[in-house]
Amino acid sequence: MTSKDFDLVVIGGGPSGYAAAFAAVAADLTVALIERDRIGGTCLHRGCIPAKELLETAAVRRTVAQAGEFGINTQEPVIDFSVAQERKRAVVERLFAGITHLVGSKDITVLEGTGRLAGDHAVEISLNDKSRQVVTGESIVIAAGSMPRTLPGFEVDGHTVLTSEELLELDSLPASVAIIGGGAIGCEFASMLSDLGTQVTLVETTETLAPGTDADIAKSLQRSFKKRGIDVVTGASANSHNPHQDGTVVQLNNGTELDVEKVVVCVGRRPFTDHLGISDTSIEVDEDGFVVVDEFCRTNLQHIYAIGDVIRTPQLAHVGFAEAMLIVREMLGQNPRPINYSRVPWAIYCHPEIAYAGLTEQQAMDLGYDVDTTPHRLGGNARALIHNTTEGIVKLVAQRRPDGKAGQLLGVHLIGPHATEQLSQGYLAVNWEIDVDEIAEFVQPHPTLSELFGEAALELAGRTLHGLSLIHI
């Protein structure tokens, strides 16, 4: 064994890990980055990017299928899924080449192997070439990522029972699937597979899809899915399944049986800390295996940080980026402001898309706010009509002032076409803590989908322009 000293040792080369390495080396710190597979992590190779690529394929098919409504006559679109998969792989490889080049262009020591904590400041690496190395760091960052959770009774075999990772690698489309879990991942896959011609049943244990979203948004999504022919079963869980020659029969706890070709388990992700040797340290973990950290992502060992999917914060790549920059600034003594996780942006890329930032109406009320809201629908929006997609809502949640008028904007919630690309001004408004009256002064470009945000603000301010009622006048 050999040893080498660094200012920072990062375990994991996913978004949070490589971002920490980039931020540290930009601050002239010496950095070692340990990655056992490929730089980019789950997001690039087995999650966000390949999923969104296939969702785009689904969107193209949906557009072609609707072309006749625009006066363009086409035949029924036929999918060559092998071509779609090849395009997906090409996009991933191009991005992988880009991030690999970035890492290589910086003064970062990349160690290919599996890192394990081996003392207060030491990490032992089982290198991919079967050798071992010990490195030490003034600070250590745990950024090992996550892996899909599974369900008892649903052993993942990659053929009949899949997780998101196996689904993204299918070489052909199944005729029917049961998706267990109606969170963001489950909703995205349900939408994608339905648009590609698969019969989908989506099962969620809570009473609404997309738990965590505003109630009006969740209801709108559920209506849209049912209208598209997606079978939605809420308030139910999957108990077991009985495989047969052509698939399997899934038993739900409400007595329902689903005879499907494949089952996709989408019940969240767990921290991938199995190999880290945390149990041999005094680092605290919670009952689900997440590393416990303070507001600056420090563990109870102050020189060891944990970021990304291994801690109980939103499992989003952009949150991992933010945590990476936070910890480096904290290491440098720059007194950074902790991340306000209640205000980070969320994006779900199903059809219709969902995007939000800030408090839901219920969360705001639970915190004691007197709340004023307006759900502004897309039905009268010119750009939505042009897109041929008028289902959707722009909902603003504001604090009601003592004079009865809407004050500070607390949350922005969108569902509809290109919602994920429309969130930015709402996200900024929430985080700048500005009042609805101030937002109402914004001049919105016309015709755009984003002008619905301005319309909703005008309505809350009692100055609606195109709304059906002047509810505050």
Active site residues: 446
Q: Is residue 462 left, alpha or beta, with left meaning phi > 0 and alpha meaning psi from -120 to 50?
A: left
Pairing of strands 247-252, 257-260: antiparallel
Give the integer Cα–Cα distance in Å for 144 and 8.
Answer: 15
Q: Which residues of 69-106 are buried (b: 16+ CB within 10 A; e: fewer)?
A: eeeeeeeeeebeeeebbeebeebbeeebeebbeebeeb
DSSP, collapsed to helix, strand or coil, labels residue 10 as strand
Instruction: Name the strand (E) or helix (H) holding 166.
Output: helix 164-167
Contact indicator for 439, 407 with CB cutoff of 8 Å:
no
Burial of 188 (0-12, 13-18, 19+ CB in 10 A): buried
Q: How many CB atoms lie within 10 A of CB 279?
A: 10
CB 415 within 8 A of CB 353: yes
Question: In whole angstroms, how far apart are CA 97 and each of 40, 45, 87, 104, 112?
Answer: 10, 12, 15, 10, 16
Instruction: Name 279's Cβ contacts closer than 8 Å, sequence gap at least 6.
Output: none
Q: Which amino acid is at 374?
A: T
